[in-house]
Amino acid sequence: MNRYYWILGAFAALVVLLAVGLGLNPRDIPSPLVGKPVPAFRLALLADPDKTFGPEELRGKPWLLNVWASWCVSCRQEHPLLVEFSKKLDVPLIGLNYKEVRGDGEFDMSKLPADEEKKLALQRATGWLRDHGDPYRLTAMDIDGRVGIDFGVYGVPETYVIDKDGIIRMKHTGPITPDVLTKKILPLLAELSK
Amino acid sequence: MIARALTFSLMLALCLAATGAQASSAWEAAVAADPVAEKRLQALSKELRCLVCQNETIADSNAELAVDLRREIRGMIHDGRSDNEIIDFMVARYGDFVLYRPPVKGVTLLLWGGPVVLLLLGLGALFAYLRRRAGRVGDTERPLSTEEARRLEALLKEPDNK
C-alpha cells in the first residue's frame, strides 16, 4: 500500500510542475540587454524626416522607449493606456516605429523601392497616430528593422525603461497592462527619477 | 549517370537562382552565390532559434525575424566575421535562448544534468527492486519436507483420468 502513496506523491509533484510550467509565459524571454547600455542608433524622425534622433540626446534623465507599428495588433491594445498615462508622465516617452511597411506582410517588398517604402511608412505611421492618439514625445523610424535587431526586438510591442546613464533597466515584451504599469514601470521610474 | 549529374547541376542552379532572387542588394547576391558562405549561413542558422516561432531554427522558419536574421548573418559573413563572433552577436541581443544548444552553466545545470540524475534514480530503483525480489524468490527455494515430497510423489503417480 505504501508504494501506491509514493507513486501518487510522484504524480502530484509532476502535476504541480506542469501546472507551474503552463502558467509561465513562453514569450517572456529574459533580455540580455537589461543592465547594459542602450544600443547606439540614429534614425529619422516621423514628424520631420530631415531631423534625426539618437539615444545619447536623453542622457541625464530616465526615459521610456516603446516599439510599435501600425500593423501590430497588440500595440492597438496597449495604446489607449500609453495615451492616457503619457499626459501625466514627466519622463520622455519615445516611440520606435518598427518595420512599418515591410513588417506588415501585405506588401511585395521586391516591387517596392526604398524611397517608396519610406514615404509609405511615414504616411501610415502618421495616420495611425492621428487616429489613435500620439503619446510620444517623438517617434524614430526604424524602417528596415536594423535597430530593432540591436535591441533584440522579437515581439512588438516592446517597452524599455532606460536610466539617466543610458543603461537599460527593464524590458517588457507584449502590450503594457495597467498592472505592469502601476506595479513595475511607474515604481521603477520613480526610483530612477530620484 | 550523366542525366543525374545534369539534374543535380540544374537543381543547384535553380536553388542559387532562387536565393539570388531573394537577395535585394549586390553583396547579398554575392554571398548567396558563394557556396562556402551559403554553407556557413546554413550551419549557423541551424544553431539559432527563431524567437517568434520558438521551436524552429532560423534556417527553417519563415517568420519575418528569421528572414531578417539570416540577412544579418549573411552581412556578417560578407564582412569576414568568424562563426563565434556571429553567435556572440546573436547572444548579446537575444540571450542564451537564441541558441538551439543551450550552454552548460549554473542555470542550465538541471537541464543538462536532470536526465542523468533521473536515469541514475531509475537504475537505483530497479536494482533495489531486483535485489528484494531475488531475496524473496530465494526464500521459497528450500528443499521439500518429507511430507511435501510424499505428496509430490503421489501426484505424479496419479494416472491422467481424462
**Same domain as B19, residue B96:** yes
Inter-chain residue contact B52 with A31, CB threshold 8 Å = no
**Three-state secondary-structure class, residue B46:** helix
Query: How many domains does chain B contain in total?
Result: 2
CATH (domain of B100): 1.10.8.640
Residues of B in contact with A29 (CB under 8 A): 51, 94-95, 97
- The SS3 call for residue A149 is helix
- Say whether both B118 and B52 belong to one domain: no
Chain centre to alpha carbon of residue B82: 25
B42 and B74 in a common domain: yes
- Residue B85 C-alpha cell reads as 563572433
Q: Which whole number is the average pLDDT over A54-62? A: 91
Q: Is A14 exposed, middle or buried (0-12, 13-18, 19+ CB in 10 A)?
A: exposed
Count the Cβ atoms, other than its own, within 10 Å of residue A75.
21
User: If you average pLDDT over every residue of chain B, what do you get?
Assistant: 80
pLDDT of B3 > 70? The answer is no
Q: Are residues B97 and B38 in the same domain?
A: yes
At residue A147 the predicted structure's pLDDT band, cuts being 50, 70 and 90, is very high
Confidence of residue A3 (pLDDT cuts 50, 70, 90): confident
Contact B95 A109 (CB under 8 A): no
Interface test with A, best of B93, B108, B111 (most A CBs within 10 A): B93
Nearest to A161 by CA among A33, A75, A56, A51: A33
B61 in a structural domain:
yes
- pLDDT value, residue B4: 54
Residue B153, domain extent: 110-157
Contact flag B93-A152 (C-beta cutoff 8 Å): yes
Find the closest chain B residue to A35 by CA distance.
B92
Q: For A59, how many CA atoms within 13 A lie in the half-sphere containing its CB?
A: 6
Among B51, B52, B88, B96, most A C-beta atoms within 10 A, so best to mutate, is B51
Look at residue B24 in the predicted model and tell me its pLDDT.
Answer: 54
Does B162 reside within a domain? Answer: no
Q: Are residues B69 and B90 in the same domain?
A: yes
pTM above 0.90, yes or no: no
Closest-CA distance of chain A to residue B52, Å: 6
* Distance in Å, alpha carbon of B81 to nearest chain A alpha carbon: 17
Is pLDDT at A52 greater than 90 in this prediction?
A: yes
B100: contact with A, CB 8 A cutoff = no
Q: Which of B5-19, B76-90, B93-107 has the lowest mean pLDDT?
A: B5-19
A99 to chain B: nearest residue by CA? Answer: B64
- pLDDT of B39 strictly over 60: yes
Contact B72 A32 (CB under 8 A): no
- What integer pLDDT is reported at residue B110 of this predicted model? 86
Position B25 scores a pLDDT of: 64
